[in-house]
Amino acid sequence: MTARRAIALTMLALCLALLVRPLFRVPPGELAAASPADGATLTAPPDAVVLTFRSSPRAGTTHVAVVDGDGRPVSAGPPRTQTTQVQLPVSIDAPGWYRVAYHTDLSDGSRATGSVTFAVGAPEGDLPPQAATPAEDGGHAGHGGPPDPLTMAALAANVVVLLVIAVKLVRTRRSGW
């Protein structure tokens, strides 16, 4: 096998790998547990909300917000991540409905996004607005997060392919082909 044929076959295999990659997507991440649990009614307010995921959240990608029934944030500090858990301190001083909205990229390559609703005391009024998201609490609005390693590898492969094509074009023009 000539070197040109080996390069051509390698490029073809690389392109095919990039084309079939979307067929093997990682399913969405899952929340394994929440404290307070979804739908729970507590007699006393919690000091923190704890979210446990099936794999570890990636650094810099976790955003959590807790809002009351009127949509006002009740977070009392930034989220803290430890292994598969994310803990957000809260300052809740009144009975009512509360919604926890979260978004994070997990170490297995999946993304977990969702919300959990709980009540403190005997809640009056409606559930917190569904539109309450971490972005509204200064969360992930405009964040980029670290790039996905597989995406970076695909970009690098594209650059290599473009360089090979450029070199081939330059060589064929010099040889007069």
**DSSP class per residue in 91-119:** ---S-EEEEEEEEEEBTTS-EEEEEEEEE
pLDDT (mean) for 95-104: 91
Least confident of 6-15, 21-30, 53-62, 130-139: 130-139
Q: Tell me, yes or no, whether 166 and 84 share the same domain.
A: no
Q: Tell me, yes or no, whether 16 and 75 share the same domain.
A: no
Query: Is 24 or 42 the better-scoring residue by pLDDT?
Result: 42
- The whole-model pTM stands at 0.60
Query: Is 88 or 148 the better-scoring residue by pLDDT?
Result: 88
Structural contact between residues 99 and 116, judged by C-beta atoms closer than 8 angstroms: yes
The CATH number covering residue 65 comes to 2.60.40.1220
Which structural domain range is residue 165 located in?
3-24+150-175
Grade residue 139 by pLDDT with cuts at 50, 70 and 90.
very low
Backbone angles phi, psi at 16, to 5 degrees: -65, -40
Query: Is 69 or 45 the better-scoring residue by pLDDT?
Result: 45
pLDDT (mean) for 99-122: 89
Structural contact between residues 4 and 82, judged by C-beta atoms closer than 8 angstroms: no
How many domains are there within the chain? 2
Q: Decide if pLDDT at 13 tops 60.
A: yes
Looking at residue 126, its pLDDT comes to: 62
Q: Tell me, yes or no, whether 96 and 115 share the same domain.
A: yes
Bond into 36 cis (ω within 30): yes
Q: Decide if pLDDT at 136 tops 50.
A: no
Q: Decide if pLDDT at 39 tops 70.
A: yes
Backbone angles phi, psi at 108, to 5 degrees: -85, 5
Q: Tell me, yes or no, whether 116 and 154 share the same domain.
A: no
Mean pLDDT of the chain: 77
Helices (H), the chain: 3-20, 149-175
